């Protein structure tokens, strides 16, 4: 396989990715210069509230943005050293589902209602293995279903015969059918209820360990980040405002006020706080972003400079953040 040559530690290197959604009425700046790397076998958590551009980032890596509105303005996404943004359709199809696979947010709508789940899993395998026999495909479908905890006999059933959590397992099975190097999981548990969430997370975690897959875990749930991720990138209004190893993000040292706000708005059993502290206000209008720091209008520690100047990245070790408060300390 041409994409599996060893290029050191880094599997995916995204640099200065910029994406807009353009309609006749307006232009939405969805992703504004996002950079991150995912190391082989590691999991990066992409955290942020709804509308921060997490899903757009993921879809851009797969080049699956809606073709009528989504546009990638610039940036790189080097997968094994080759820039996906420069791929043609044939090359894209060769990596989609094969080297990079995606688990979508809503299992209720992500499966084709008129195809059996077995056929839907088989499709991935058949697409990427042309000379495979029907029996071989069937055996592999059975194996992958067993792997995600579904009885292989159920492969001839249709999605409507499965519960939500089971459907998400099928979606995961489709994604893992070709043992991809990178799995992008876009809020895989958001649409599920809490008990099922834990099950699905365990399935993902187990499979990652068994198959050695790298992962981009998109979530707004800091609990999931703590359980699954090695590195974290916090996204706000289309920018990564803080990133680093999970230990750094969860340690009580200096943080971007938005990250701090995120942690304050999560219940913690060990703290004595009587109330949660939500971050006041809403995300800025992505059709009209503020000129300075994008978080400044909601920030309790905003200074004069925040409204004027876009903050630069401050790096200390593997931990980096973009905030004027910490401008003096790092680079």
User: Smallest distance, Å, CB 193 to another protein?
Assistant: 20
User: Looking at 30-38, 43-51, 115-123, 233-241, which segment touches another protein (CB under 8 A)?
Assistant: 115-123
Taking each helix axis from N to C end, the angle separating 117-128 and 134-147, rounded to the nearest 10 degrees, works out to 120
Q: Of the ranges 29-37, 123-131, 241-249, 265-273, which one interacts with another protein (CB under 8 A)?
A: 123-131
CB of 108 to another protein, least distance (A): 9
Size of the site for another protein (CB under 8 A): 34
To the nearest whole angstrom, how small is the minimum distance from the Cβ of residue 198 to another protein?
A: 24
The length of the chain is 331
Cβ nearer to another protein, comparing 68 with 135: 68
Q: Is 120 helix (H, G, I), strand (E, B) or coil?
A: helix
Strand 182-186 and strand 100-103: the pairing is parallel
Burial of 290 (0-12, 13-18, 19+ CB in 10 A): middle
Give yes or no for residue 127 binding another protein (CB under 8 A): yes
C-alpha of 102 from chain center: 9
Q: Which of residues 159-218 bind another protein (CB under 8 A)?
A: 160-161, 171, 174-175
Residue 321: CB minimum distance to another protein, A: 32
Which letter does DSSP use for residue 85 in this model?
A: G
User: Strands 231-236, 214-219: parallel, antiparallel or unpaired by DSSP?
Assistant: unpaired
When the beta carbons of 134 and 275 are compared against another protein, the nearer one is 134
Ramachandran category for residue 17: left, alpha or beta (phi over 0 → left; psi -120 to 50 → alpha): beta
Among 89, 133, 194, 252, binds another protein (CB under 8 A): 89
- Token pair, residue 297, equals 């209008």
101 sits near another protein (criterion: CB under 8 A) = yes
Residue closer to another protein, measured from CB, 34 or 175: 175
**Binding span for another protein by CB under 8 A among 73-81, 104-112, 217-225, 301-309:** 104-112
Q: Which residues contact 67 (CB under 8 A, 6 or more apart)?
A: none
Q: List all residues 6 or more positions away from 32 whose beta carbon is below 8 Å from its beta carbon.
A: 18, 53, 237, 238, 239, 289
Nearest distance in Å: CB 161, another protein: 8
Q: CA-to-CA distance for 213 and 200, rounded, in angstroms?
A: 16
145 within 8 A of 121, measured Cβ to Cβ: yes
Contact by Cβ (8 Å): 72, 19: yes
Query: Strand 10-22 vs strand 27-39: parallel, antiparallel, or unpaired?
Result: antiparallel
Residues 66-85 binding another protein (CB under 8 A) are: 66, 68
For another protein, the binding residue among 56, 60, 80, 124 (CB under 8 A) is: 124
Stretch binding another protein (CB under 8 A), from 59-67, 74-82, 231-239, 288-296? 59-67
Whichever of 131 and 253 has its CB closer to another protein, that residue is 131
Q: For binding to another protein (CB under 8 A), which residues are involved? A: 62, 64, 66, 68, 89, 92-98, 101-102, 104, 106, 109-115, 120, 123-124, 127-128, 158, 160-161, 171, 174-175
């Amino acid at each position: 396989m041409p994409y599996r040559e060893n290029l050191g530690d880094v599997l995916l290197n995204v640099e200065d990715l910029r994406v807009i959604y353009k309609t006749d009425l307006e232009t939405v700046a969805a992703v504004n210069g996002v950079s991150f790397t995912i190391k082989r076998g590691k999991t990066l958590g992409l955290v942020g509230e709804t509308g921060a551009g997490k899903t757009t980032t993921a879809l851009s890596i797969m080049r699956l943005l809606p073709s009528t509105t989504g546009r990638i303005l610039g940036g790189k996404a080097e997968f094994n050293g080759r820039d996906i943004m420069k791929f043609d359709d044939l090359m894209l199809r060769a990596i989609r589902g094969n080297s990079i696979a995606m688990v979508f947010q809503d299992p209720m709508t992500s499966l084709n209602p008129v195809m059996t789940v077995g056929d839907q899993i088989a499709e991935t395998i058949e697409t990427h293995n042309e000379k495979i026999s029907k029996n071989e495909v069937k055996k592999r479908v059975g194996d992958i279903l067993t792997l995600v905890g579904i009885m292989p006999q159920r492969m001839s059933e249709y999605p409507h015969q499965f519960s939500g959590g089971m459907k998400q397992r099928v979606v995961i099975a489709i994604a893992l059918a070709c043992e991809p190097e990178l799995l992008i999981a876009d809020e895989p548990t958001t649409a599920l209820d809490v008990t099922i969430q834990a099950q699905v997370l365990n399935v993902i975690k187990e499979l990652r360990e068994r198959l050695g897959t790298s992962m981009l875990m998109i979530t707004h749930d800091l609990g999931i980040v703590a359980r699954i991720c090695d590195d974290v990138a916090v996204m706000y209004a289309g920018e990564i405002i803080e990133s680093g190893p999970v230990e750094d993000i969860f340690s009580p040292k200096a943080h971007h006020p938005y990250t701090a706000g995120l942690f304050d708005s999560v219940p913690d059993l060990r703290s004595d706080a009587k109330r949660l502290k939500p971050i006041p206000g809403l995300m800025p209008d992505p059709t009209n972003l503020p000129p300075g720091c994008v978080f400044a209008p909601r920030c309790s520690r905003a200074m004069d400079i925040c409204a004027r100047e876009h903050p630069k990245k401050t790096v200390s070790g593997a931990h980096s953040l973009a905030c004027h408060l910490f401008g003096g300390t790092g680079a």
